[in-house]
Amino acid sequence: MNMTMTSPDDAIDLSQPLKVYWVPGCTACLRMKEFLNKAGVPFESINAYEDEAGFAALAALGVRRVPIAARGKHWADGQVIKDLARVAGIGVSVSIALSPPELVARGSRILSVAHGLLGRVPEEDLNTLLPGRPRSYIQLGCHVFQVLEIFLDLVESGRRVEFDDYFQPVPSSVTSRSTLLTYCGAILVRFNEFAQKVAALDPRAKANVYYGEQTIHEFLERSVWHAAQHTRQIQVLVEKSIGPVSNGLQHSDLEGLPLPDHIYDDKVAL
């Protein structure tokens, strides 16, 4: 059987069940599930970390990543809402609320908040694993900054974005809270330097990313809210350890970003 990513010309058999593959703590997985729930689209929920048969079925489609929504032989990456809607059998209008300069400003603010929060994570908690997946607090902290570093690599050097880019290991130099802050601080400086040049960005240019057709504007929005969602998670973890923080994310930092309602997952709690 020819397993294919869905395109506008594909005929999708909507009588086939919709299967949704996800893992805990995955920002786009959570957004995909919430989008379908809000649209009233029934689906079979498959945690690819826990369901071996489900993961095998996903691999049989020719893909080994999440988030994926599939009907029969057709599938879509859940990061691209218009493709997800097509597989779901519903119409959708997708727009971006914030301009590139505003998104970049939000990215700078989010990284600054994340850096401050990481400075308050107790040293003994850095290697604690998050619920439902093999990712530690120190890995999550690096990941927040790597998300926007990946964006910078694409727009500044034309480097194609691959799935594995989002699973970079913690650098060997990062072994403590202080070295984590040094590593993340360098990426923050780089992003702030880019912010001074954002006017030269062509938001309509194509973004060379693994998960489908995206403009630079769409990929920038995805990168910023991706980092924001994980920063929300770090804030929860910090507040569980030391109590409320006064300099964390505010409503104004998140307004206009297409964030999920849940902070970690709708099935797995932090």
Query: Which residues, including other chains, have CB under 8 Å from residue 167's CB and lie 6 or more apart?
Result: none
The two tokens of residue 265 are: 């997952």
* pLDDT one-digit tens code per residue, 140-164: 999 999 999 999 999 999 999 999 9
CA distance 134 to 136: 7
Secondary structure of residue 248 in the 3-state scheme: coil
Angle of helix 137-157 relative to helix 177-195, nearest 10 degrees, comes to 30
What local confidence, expressed as pLDDT, does residue 2 receive?
32
Superfamily name with CATH number, domain 4-88: Glutaredoxin (3.40.30.10)
Question: pLDDT at position 10, please?
Answer: 65
What is residue 93's predicted lDDT score, i.e. its pLDDT? 87
The span from the CA of 186 to the CA of 191, in Å, is 9
Tokens coding 255: 């307004």
Give the other-Cβ count within 10 Å of 185's Cβ.
Answer: 16
- Consecutive sets of 10 residues in the chain, 270 residues long: mean pLDDT of each? 46 92 96 97 94 86 93 94 95 93 98 98 95 96 98 97 96 97 98 96 97 96 98 96 93 97 95
CATH superfamily of 100-254: dinb family like domain (1.20.120.450)
Residues 6 or more apart in contact with residue 77 via CB below 8 angstroms: 5, 65, 67, 68, 83, 84, 211, 212
139: left (phi over 0), alpha (psi -120 to 50) or beta: alpha
**Structural domain spans, the chain:** 4-88, 100-254
Six-digit token pair at 159? Answer: 């480097």
pLDDT for 1: 29
Contact between 267 and 47 under an 8 Å Cβ cutoff? The reply is yes
Six-digit token string for 256: 């206009």
**What distance in Å separates the CA atoms of residue 28 and residue 80, rounded to the nearest whole number?**
9
**Which residue type occupies 13?**
D
- Residue among 142, 150, 129, 144 nearest 172 (CA): 142
Q: Which pTM was predicted?
A: 0.93
CB 123 within 8 A of CB 146: no
Under 8 Å between Cβ of 121 and 238:
yes
